[in-house]
């Protein structure tokens, strides 16, 4: 349930800066709560109300932000159970970590109808300001967390910095990438580009012998109760909690929030009859997502929406699952059919209109699947099979992944033509999905690039934990991928960088003169204490529509 704002009065306008110690305290608090739902016998929750799943914020605005938490009111009121009484939940927002200067407060109700999740869409805050928030239920308080509002819509902004992540599979490893982002005090927000969770049964992906930690429920998520429990399991992770306690998160969904290769009529990983009715399953997944994520739903009940950071950056976020035509088989000859769509007509028109009307220095587009065309025909034969499996290609190596924009070429052609014909510059596509890191020019015509030029650039971040090339082949990182990456770049001149082995995250630094993506890798996804190191950096300078390598990360 979403609550209404009650402003506090007589408060100071001073604002403190968060310290790294705040994030560490939040992580520690989350770690204490985490065991409550992660073990098989973890349905026993404390007798008193508890905040076992942390708190979160998202979708920041110049004057507000969306706050989220989940209350466990009684021992049996576990996620998806449908059990537990309604309880009153209070929230407050302050300018300081000690909550001496409270600027907004309110109350709402947590009920089983919303799985005891609550949201507060707080307004009346100051622009570009750090705030601290917490919830309480009776005498029990949640952990305190930090969030940040965006600059005024028409203000000049010197810079903005985002963490960028995607593809976090609980069973494949630990979320140390989130911990390292939580420890950074320099981020304005974190962009999550999809596959926040995975729907599979235990041991389906990865195989049982490679499962690092089992998730709940152990069977595939099909019902509303299943999706709620899977979301609840994820939000017991201490590193994920730390991320949400430190930064506002801006998220979109991809397929695994529903089922692999989802579209409105079904999914590759959905068996009609045995797994029920697909529309009901998709509706259940969406309901659980909006209950458990700090995301404002659009009026159509999807995740496509627009956020802005002054006159520096417009961010258009896409929903590429709710409106697309069914994927076609590779080699069918139908990928160029103008009646096929990945965005849907209304969403594509909305995106085109927003890009054309934008007066921001940079036009950022959050897209869950890669827009750049990619051919794999020259990859060595012993690597082609695993790469094909990873990105959804046939093992014969035909150069189309029909789940990406490659399977919907008319939409891509229309969008790229729009950027070129309208003279829209400084468009940066931000992408997840395929468990690899890429830096690409987005060619106007791939076959004649670079002569035909590019319409923008694309930065793709690798997975937090989901398997990539070295995991699939069970070899040490960087054993085989350098050769495969060289072959991919040779066949795709617009691809400037590809890393098929690392797990980690990106940090996107946007300034009037450039947009730069720094790629970071974690040392070992199977270790909770994995370290993080900078791998590569690429940037596009204003007006160039081209990617270039940079030899150090932003400071």
Domains of the chain from N-terminus onward: 160-194+303-550 (3.60.21.70)
Whether residue 363 has pLDDT greater than 60: yes
Please give the average per-residue pLDDT across 228-255, as a whole number: 98
Query: pLDDT tens digit string along 386-413?
Result: 665 665 544 433 446 899 999 999 999 9
Residues facing 268 on adjacent strands: none
Whether residue 438 has pLDDT greater than 60: yes
Burial class (CB in 10 A: 0-12, 13-18, 19+), 184: middle
Integer Rg of the chain from CA? 22
Other CB atoms within 10 Å distance of the CB of residue 114: 18
Whether residue 275 has pLDDT greater than 80: yes
Helix (H) / strand (E) containing 90: strand 87-94
**Any idea which of 77-86, 235-244, 303-312, 482-491 has the lowest mean pLDDT?**
482-491
Measured in whole angstroms, how far is the alpha carbon of residue 176 from the centre of its chain? 15
What dihedral do alpha carbons 445, 433, 247, 186 form, nearest 10°?
-50
Please give the average per-residue pLDDT across 28-37, as a whole number: 36
Burial class (CB in 10 A: 0-12, 13-18, 19+), 25: middle
Please give the average per-residue pLDDT across 107-136, as a whole number: 98
Whether residue 364 has pLDDT greater than 60: yes
pLDDT at 469: 82
Helices (H), 175-268: 176-182, 224-234, 238-246
Helix (H) / strand (E) containing 430: strand 427-431
What dihedral do alpha carbons 471, 528, 459, 336 form, nearest 10°?
50
CA dist 199 and 207 (Å) reads 14
User: pLDDT class for 377, splitting at 50, 70, 90?
Assistant: low
CA dist 265 and 228 (Å) reads 22
User: pLDDT class for 1, splitting at 50, 70, 90?
Assistant: low
Please give the average per-residue pLDDT across 295-303, as a whole number: 86
Please give the average per-residue pLDDT across 142-149, as a whole number: 98
């Amino acid at each position: 349930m979403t609550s209404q704002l009650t402003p506090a009065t007589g408060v100071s306008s001073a604002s403190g800066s968060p310290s790294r110690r705040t994030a560490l305290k939040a992580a520690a608090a989350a770690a204490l709560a985490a065991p409550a739902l992660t073990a098989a016998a973890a349905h026993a929750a404390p007798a008193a109300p508890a905040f076992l799943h942390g708190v979160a914020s998202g979708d920041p605005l110049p004057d507000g932000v969306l706050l989220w938490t989940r209350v466990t009111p009684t021992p049996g009121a576990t996620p998806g159970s449908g059990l537990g009484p309604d309880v009153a939940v209070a929230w407050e927002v302050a300018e300081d970590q000690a909550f001496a200067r409270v600027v907004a407060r309110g109350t709402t109700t947590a009920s089983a109808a919303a799985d005891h999740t609550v949201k507060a869409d707080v307004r009346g805050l100051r622009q570009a300001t750090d705030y601290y928030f917490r919830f309480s239920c009776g005498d029990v308080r949640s952990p305190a967390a930090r969030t940040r509002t965006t600059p005024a819509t028409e203000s000049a902004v010197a810079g903005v910095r985002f963490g960028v992540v995607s593809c976090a599979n609980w069973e494949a490893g630990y979320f140390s990438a989130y911990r390292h982002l939580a420890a950074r005090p320099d981020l304005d927000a974190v962009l999550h580009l999809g596959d926040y969770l995975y729907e599979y049964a235990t041991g389906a992906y990865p195989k049982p012998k490679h499962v690092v930690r089992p998730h709940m429920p152990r069977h595939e998520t099909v019902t509303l109760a299943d999706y709620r429990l899977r979301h609840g399991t994820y939000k017991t992770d201490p590193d994920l909690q730390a991320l949400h306690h430190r930064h506002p998160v801006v998220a979109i969904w991809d397929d695994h929030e529903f089922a692999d290769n989802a579209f409105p009529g079904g999914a590759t990983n959905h068996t009609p009859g045995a797994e029920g009715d697909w529309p009901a399953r998709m509706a259940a997944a969406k309901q659980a997502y909006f209950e458990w994520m700090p995301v404002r739903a659009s009026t159509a009940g999807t995740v496509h929406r627009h956020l802005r950071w002054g006159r520096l950056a417009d961010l258009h976020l896409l929903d590429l699952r709710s409106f697309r035509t069914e994927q076609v088989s590779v080699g069918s000859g139908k990928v160029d059919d103008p009646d096929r769509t990945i965005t849907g007509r209304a969403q594509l028109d909305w995106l085109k209109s927003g890009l054309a009307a934008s007066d921001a220095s940079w036009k950022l587009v959050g897209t869950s699947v890669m827009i750049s065309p990619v051919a794999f025909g020259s990859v060595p034969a012993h690597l082609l099979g695993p790469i094909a499996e990873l990105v959804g290609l046939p093992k014969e190596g035909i150069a189309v992944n029909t789940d990406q924009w490659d399977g919907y070429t008319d939409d891509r052609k229309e969008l790229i033509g729009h950027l070129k014909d309208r003279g829209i510059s400084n468009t940066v596509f931000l992408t997840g999905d395929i468990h690899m890191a890429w830096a690409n020019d987005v060619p106007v015509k791939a076959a004649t690039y670079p002569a035909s030029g590019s319409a923008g650039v694309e930065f793709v971040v690798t997975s937090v934990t989901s398997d990539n090339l070295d995991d699939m082949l069970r070899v040490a990182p960087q054993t085989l991928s350098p050769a495969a990456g060289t072959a991919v770049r040779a066949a795709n001149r617009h691809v400037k960088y590809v890393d098929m082995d690392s797990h980690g995250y990106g940090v996107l630094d946007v300034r009037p003169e450039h947009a730069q993506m720094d790629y970071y890798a974690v040392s070992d996804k199977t270790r909770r204490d994995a370290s993080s190191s900078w791998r590569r950096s690429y940037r596009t300078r204003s007006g160039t529509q081209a990617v270039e390598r940079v030899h150090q990360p932003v400071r």
